[in-house]
A and B are shown apart, each in its own frame.
Chain A
Amino acid sequence: MDNVSFKVKAGDIFGLVGPNGAGKSTLLRMLCTVLMPTSGKGFVEGHDIVREAKEVRKSIGVVQEKLILYSPLTPIENLEFFGNLYSMDSKMLKEKILQLLEEVKLTAVKDRPVGTFSTGMRQRLNIARALLHDPRVVILDEPTNGLDPQSVRWIRDFIVNLRERGLTVILTTHDMYEIDELADTVAIMDRGQILEMGSKDELKAKHGVDKIEDVFLSLTGRELRDELSGRLRGRGW
């Protein structure tokens, strides 16, 4: 990260985009308190991400591209496990699980092992897991990656629904159409920096284009990127 500074308005869908290796995941992992920043400050719902990490974790729900689910367990068992990590009251947890399973349309398969589910079903359950503890901020890291069009549509509608409920959503994706459709505010990142940030209309007007994709390409260039991952770079490869 290099001098990154931004604010997300409560109740907004904040689109964070950038080419591979731009630093989006690193930034999100810092906000999730999994990675510690070496300098600077960060706050989620007014809580310091370093000093009040536990409070931050209670405020956020995270959906990553990698599914945070255990395949041999059923949806209920998965959700019970994560709910208990948030020390939720068992009666409330049970009710919440049934309500969320209904919302993500998985009630019929609530007792089947997750390993038997399609990718779309798993991602829906993954979203339910992220919402179990009623977070105020939901971080969605490429939530529609690799899904069929029906699942993608359902997830996009669900993201809009989250905003309607007053939740703040931070969304990263490589699908610029998705950003155009969903995001209120967009930040374009590259090489650890936020290049530009603003509402979709502001950014489009500034660059004189009709699509966020064109804003993105004009800022980050059209050449192919051959970014190495941090780990391999560290080994001199």
Chain B
Amino acid sequence: MQKGSFYHLYIVMKKDLTEFYRVRARLVSMIMLPILLMLLFGYMFPSSGSITHIPIAIVNQDQSAVAIQVINSFTYMAQSGNAFNVITYTSLAQAQQALLQGKIYAIVIFRPGFDEGLKSGAASVQVIVDQMNPTLDQIVTSGIQSIFSQLNVQLSVSQGFPAQAGTISVNMQGLIPGSPSSFEFLAPGFIAMSMVMGGLAGLAMTFSRERELGTLDGMLMTPISRFSIVMGKAMAQAVRGIISGIMIVILAIILFGVKIYGNIFLMSLIIFLGILSFTGLGLIATSFVSDQESAQMIMLMIEMPMIFISGIFYPVLQLPVWLRDIAYMLPLSYTVSAFRSVMVMNAPLSAVWPEVLVLIVYSLVTFAIAIPLFQKMVTK
């Protein structure tokens, strides 16, 4: 019987699978990736009431006995269902700084004259909400409004005010003026994501490709240091990442009306540090494999979970505590957080310095590990 196309198809497929099976790194990545993604998605999507202890701030500028009483009731109600964790700030500036740094998600401000306003039926509180993540924004807004509705009922009964007079109106305000689109919140994450693709995968691929081709040997045989090779390649990835980041920003501005509120130089610095930390991480991961396909698989295994748990699409707060801890170990979480704060909320360096510091330390540490590993890899 003549062997036809399907037989040859089978032969090619079998060869490819055998080859794949022989390289352990590829095999392990293939098994681990779907398991990791399955676990992540399972834990990331919230079941009812899974977002708890959202940190919000109270700033009391009135200091009247009534205001203190209302605040106590608000705090009790906010914390009793574990929905919020209420933190009291003495100054509005401090609270705003915390909001920019992502330490809290809303500020409830009791302005001077709250007491008088309550008596005359025109009491209001101002609430500034972090609109960075639409999901959290909605939960925080409706949660605070619901607490004040309950408070209004309590006030009308227990304080002896007429129902109308005892009503507190809630004046909601976002950090960003106007009604920003959801994409405005997602764009910084997308930009950071493109940097991951460029930095993490690009560097790993370029090293394994040069190693396979023999050109890496060519560089190693010249009098330049290993440090120059690693850092030169890392910088090339940083430039690529910045270019792709700029392209996405331009597209986001032209096509989706995204506005940049922050300092371009600070944004570039965050991108640059982000890429450096990714490339260091990529280099460590791929120093254990020798061929391009294995490097690609390993990168995919790091990239995919990192993209989903680093706050690009879903708030880190939404994750279970153990997953949140992992997210805080990844450079992408800090890059996304700082980049979003600067780009969307015009946060200054003083507001994002913790993230910037983490990225600097991350880059230094990963490269300090990666360069000796690289040395070991090339002399195998």
Q: Which residues of A contact B (CB under 8 A)?
A: 32-36, 54-55, 57-58, 60, 62, 64, 66-70, 82, 85-87, 129, 231
A selection of 23 A-B contacts at a CB cut-off of 8 Å is A32-B217, A32-B220, A32-B221, A33-B221, A34-B217, A34-B221, A36-B379, A57-B222, A58-B223, A62-B221, A64-B214, A64-B217, A66-B214, A66-B217, A68-B215, A68-B221, A69-B218, A70-B215, A82-B222, A85-B219, A86-B223, A129-B218, A231-B380
Q: Does B378 contact A (CB under 8 A)?
A: yes
Bound form: Cα–Cα A68–B379 in Å: 17
Do the beta carbons of B378 and A34 come within 8 Å of each other? yes
Shortest CB-to-CB span from A77 to chain B, Å, is: 13
Tell me whether A66 and B220 are in contact in the complex, defined as CB-CB below 8 angstroms, given that A34-B378, A36-B379, A231-B380 are known contacts.
Answer: no
Interface status of B1 (Cβ within 8 A of chain A): no
B214's partner among A32, A36, A55, A68 (CB-CB below 8 A) is A68
Chain A residues positioned under 8 Å from B218 (CB to CB): 62, 68-69, 82, 129
- CA of A146 to CA of B224, assembled, Å: 31
Least CB distance, B27 to chain A, in whole angstroms: 13
A60 engages B221 (CB within 8 Å): yes
CB-CB contacts below 8 Å: B203-224 with A: 213-215, 217-224
Give how many A-B residue pairs fall within 8 Å (CB-CB): 49
User: Interface centre among B214, B215, B218, B224, by most A CB within 10 Å?
Assistant: B218
CA distance A86 to B218 in the complex (A): 12
3 A-B pairs with the lowest CB-CB distances in the bound complex, closest first: A66-B214, A68-B218, A85-B222
A54 touching B223 by the CB < 8 A rule? yes
| Interface-centre pick from A64, A67, A85 (highest chain B CB count, 10 A) | A85
Contacts of B223 in A (CB 8 A): 54-55, 57-58, 85-87
Q: Which residue of A lies closest to B225 (CB)?
A: A54
Q: How far is the CB of B19 from chain A (nearest CB, A)?
A: 14
**B residues contacting the other copy or chain, number (CB 8 A):** 15
B379 in contact with A34 (CB, 8 Å)? yes
B20 → chain A closest CB, angstroms: 16
Q: Inside 8 A of B219's CB, which chain A residues have their CB? A: 85
Contacts of A60 in B (CB 8 A): 221
A137 shortest CB reach to chain B, Å = 12
Q: Which residues of B contact A87 (CB under 8 A)?
A: 223
Which residues of A lie under 8 Å from residue B224 when comparing CB positions?
Answer: 85
Q: CB-nearest residue of chain A relative to B214?
A: A66
Considering only CB atoms, which chain B residue lies closest to A68 in the complex?
B218
- A95→B337 CA distance, assembly (Å): 52
Q: Which residues on B sit within 8 Å (CB–CB) of A70?
A: 215
How far apart are the CA atoms of A62 and B223 in the complex, in Å? 13
A87's nearest neighbour on chain B, judged by CB, is B223
B257 to chain A, nearest CB (A): 38
Closest residue of A by beta carbon distance from B212: A66
> Across the interface, which residues of A come within 8 angstroms of B213, CB to CB?
66-67
CB distance from A34 to the nearest CB of B (A): 5
Given A69-B218, A86-B223: 5 more A-B contacts, CB < 8 Å? A66-B217, A68-B218, A70-B215, A82-B222, A231-B290
Tell me, in angstroms, the Cα distance from A87 to B223 when the chains sit together: 9
Using Cβ atoms and an 8 Å threshold, which residues of chain A touch B378?
Answer: 34
B222: chain A residues within 8 A (beta carbon): 57, 82, 85-86
Proximity string of chain B (341-378) to chain A, C-beta cutoff 8 Å, 1 when within and 0 when not: 00000000000000000000000000000000000001
A192 nearest CB across to chain B (Å): 17
Q: Which residues of A are found within 8 Å of B215, using beta-carbon distances?
A: 68-70
Q: Which residues of A contact B214 (CB under 8 A)?
A: 64, 66-68
Question: Nearest CB to that of B380 among chain A residues?
Answer: A231
CA distance A196 to B217 in the complex (A): 29
* CA of A169 to CA of B253, assembled, Å: 61
How near does chain A come to B4, taking the closest CB pair, in angstroms?
Answer: 34
CB B379 to nearest CB in A, in angstroms, measures 5
Within the assembled complex, what's the spacing in Å between the Cα atoms of A16 and B222?
23
Q: Provide the residues of chain B in CB contact with A85, threshold 8 Å.
A: 219, 222-224
The answer to whether A68 and B217 touch (CB under 8 A), given A58-B223, A85-B224, is: yes
Query: B residues within 8 A CB of A58?
Result: 223
1/0 contact string of B213-249 vs chain A (CB within 8 Å): 1110111111110000000000000000000000000
Whether B379 contacts A35 by the Cβ 8 Å rule is yes
Name the CB-closest residue of B to A60: B221
